Amino acid sequence: MHFGDIFIELILGFIALFIITKVLGKTQITQITTFDFISALVLGELVGNAIFDHEVGIFHIIYAVFIWGILIFVLEMITQKFSKTRGFLEGSPTIIIRQGQILRESLKKSKLDVNQLQHLIRSKGVFSIRELEYAILETDGTVSILKKAAYETPTKRDLQLNLEQVNIPITLISDGKVINDNLTEAGFNTTWLEEQLRQQNIFRVEEVMYAEWLEGSGLHVQTI
Residue 215's domain is classified under what CATH number?
A: 3.30.240.20
pLDDT at residue 48, as a whole number: 67
| 131 or 39, higher pLDDT | 131
pLDDT at residue 40, as a whole number: 66
User: Rounded CA gap, 170 and 172, in Å?
Assistant: 6
CA 130 to chain centroid, in Å, comes to 30
pLDDT at residue 147, as a whole number: 92
| 24 or 23, higher pLDDT | 23
Give residue 108's domain range.
94-151
Residue where a domain terminates, one of 61, 87, 113: 87
Helices 3-24 and 58-81: crossing angle in degrees, nearest 10, is 10
pLDDT at residue 90, as a whole number: 64
Return the CA Rg of the chain.
Answer: 26
In a domain, 31, yes or no: yes
pLDDT of residue 13 exceeding 70:
no
The answer for residues whose C-beta is within 8 angstroms of residue 148's C-beta and 6 or more apart is 100, 130, 131, 132, 133
Total domains in the chain come to 3
In a domain, 120, yes or no: yes
* In 54-179, alpha helices (H): 58-81, 86-90, 104-109, 114-122
Stretch 130-158: mean pLDDT: 86
